[in-house]
Amino acid sequence: MKTSVVIIGGGPSGLLLGQLLHRKGIDAIVLERKTREYVLTRIRAGILETGLVSLLREAGVADRLDSEGFAHEGTIIALDDEEFHISFRDLTGTDVIVYGQTEVTRDLYDAREAADAKTIFNVEDVVINDADGDAPFVTFNVDGKSQRIDCDFVAGCDGFHGVSRQTIPLDVRKEYEKVYPFGWLGILSETPPVNEELIYSNSDRGFALCSMRNQNLSRYYIQCSLSDSPDDWTDEAFWEELRRRIPSHLAENLVAGPSIEKSIAPLRSFVTEPMRWGRLFLCGDAAHIVPPTGAKGLNTAASDVHYLYNGLLTYYQDGDSSGIDSYSEKALARVWKAERFSWATTNMLHRYPDQSEFDLKMQRAEIEFLRTNDAAQRAFAQNYVGLPY
């Protein structure tokens, strides 16, 4: 087989890049290790920046998002039994949109199928060959048969555990990592959200987040120990703990119900540099991970896709390689700012096992500064709605 761009990974990064290229007549094949059904059972991000929304519109996949997504003009930050509101709309003129990653991915798969664009599922043993030469090719096995695709470029959109990043030699690649000493236990439940806006709460029992997907689908998280397993937590224990971690007058509105999904995500900050090696480009979680506290994971993947798509477009349309040559530098400049915001917001809101009384005072002072200072709220809001591409 032959194509212009082999995209490894059929998650949101790979599918969005594929769809944008397809709309411009640039041929791409997506290779996905799992099945479509499996990819669509993963419950992940829920907050979309307007930059991602614009890209989805440009890709022609935003009809359902435009009719079913909810604009959120701000968020609630709570400390113990008190809370305050930060208005993104007043401070930045911009909202964020609540629409699940699962739905974004479904819309992209539907569009890919409607366009008859090629996706190969259940691929195994993917190997990227000659990425540092002029004629790269990708080999893999599917249904017990080995296959080869020759291409101009490879987009490594295969997430944190994929093969693309590992293809870059160790003497070229530098990795930066911070692993946090806690995880998030998340549940999805068919209950009305406790509040119309998200609540990020720092309590003496640990962090909690009240989020949602729609008026009858809530997504809640609590900080948990890394040694916990979802089976350790009955639904009743989860609801009880959540209730104790948010201001009591808000907890009064909490509607409990059976969980339809329950999982634990460890928290990590990670960046690999550079994001390009020869004709291989890394995009999204393949290159960087953020803790979910600022809702930046999917949104930062989208800004990578924006830079890579535009670089490939000028290459194919005008023979100009400046966009792909500056891809890594441009993408990383924005990635590091999202890393900083996610790290700072995680530090502000979580309880750490080794936190001293001084550390706790610093945390409270930071939240108090945010509560009372217009410039601090504006900076928070600018980061939350997404820095410009």
Residues lying near ligand RFL in the complex (CB under 6 A): 8-14, 31-34, 39, 44-45, 101, 123, 126, 157-163, 265, 284-285, 292, 295-298, 301
- Decide which of ligand RFL, ligand PHB, none touches 206; Cβ closer than 5 to 8 Å per partner kind: none
Task: Kindly give, in sequence order, each residue whose CB lies less than 8 Å from that of residue 114, ignoring residues fewer than 6 positions away.
Answer: none
Decide if residue 350 touches ligand PHB (CB under 6 A).
no
- Burial bucket for residue 103 (CB in 10 Å: 0-12, 13-18, 19+): middle
Of the pair 71, 114, the CB lying nearest ligand PHB is at: 71
* Both tokens assigned to 104: 């974004």
Distance CA 77, CA 372 (A): 12
Tell me, by CB under 6 A, how many residues bind ligand PHB. 11
What CA–CA distance (Å, rounded) separates 45 from 288?
Answer: 15
Q: From edge to edge, which strands make up the β-sheet containing 276-277?
A: 119-120, 28-31, 5-8, 153-156, 280-282, 276-277
Binding site partner of 298, from ligand PHB, ligand RFL, none, Cβ cut-off 5-8 A by kind:
ligand RFL
Confirm whether 200 is a catalytic residue. yes
Q: One symbol per residue from 195 to 224: x for binding ligand PHB (CB under 6 A), - otherwise; what is it?
A: ---x----------x-x-------x-----
Residue 173 binds: one of ligand RFL, ligand PHB, none (C-beta under 5 to 8 A by kind): none
Residue 293 site contact among ligand RFL, ligand PHB, none (CB < 5 to 8 Å, cut-off depends on kind):
ligand PHB
Q: Distance between CA 50 and CA 286 in Å, rounded?
A: 23
Residue of 159, 292, 323, 386 that binds ligand PHB (CB under 6 A): 292
Residue with Cβ nearer ligand RFL (162 or 386): 162
Q: How far is CA 259 from CA 105, 200, 212, in A?
A: 22, 20, 13
Residues 22-51 that bind ligand PHB (CB under 6 A): 45-47
Nearer to ligand RFL, 284 or 311 (CB): 284
Residues 54-73, interacting with ligand PHB (CB under 6 A):
none
Pairing of the two strands 82-87 and 74-79:
antiparallel
* Active-site annotation holder among 99, 109, 180, 200: 200
CB of 74 or CB of 162, closer to ligand RFL: 162
Q: Enumerate residues 104-123 that contact ligand PHB by CB under 6 A.
A: none
* Cβ 31 to ligand RFL shortest distance, Å: 5
Asked if 377 touches ligand PHB (CB under 6 A), the answer is no
d(CA 163, CA 257): 40
106 binds, among ligand PHB, ligand RFL, none (CB under 5 to 8 A by kind): none
**324 neighbors 312 (Cβ within 8 angstroms):** yes
Indicate if the alpha-carbon torsion angle 198, 204, 205, 206 is positive or negative.
positive
Amino acid symbol at 316: Y
CB-nearest residue to ligand PHB: 46
Which tokens in the block code for residue 326?
Answer: 């500056």
Region from 9-17, 142-150, 243-251, 292-300 binding ligand PHB, contact rule CB under 6 A: 292-300
Nearest distance in Å: CB 42, ligand RFL: 7
Q: Is 184 in contact with 224 (CB distance < 8 Å)?
A: yes
The residues near 179 (Cβ < 8 Å, ≥ 6 apart) are 266, 267, 268
Assess whether 161 carries a catalytic annotation. no
Residue 159 or 294 with smaller CB distance to ligand PHB: 294
| Cα 357 to chain centroid, rounded | 33
Tell me which of 22, 72, 288, 306 is the catalytic residue.
72
Burial degree of 374 (CB within 10 A; 0-12, 13-18, 19+)? exposed
* Partner in contact with 49, chosen from ligand PHB, ligand RFL, none, beta carbon below 5 to 8 Å by kind: none
| Residue 309, C-beta contacts closer than 8 angstroms, at least 6 positions apart | 17, 20, 21
Minimum separation from the CB atom of position 106 to ligand RFL (A): 13
* Residues catalogued as catalytic: 72, 200, 292, 296, 384
Binding site residues, ligand PHB, CB under 6 A: 45-47, 198, 209, 211, 219, 292-295
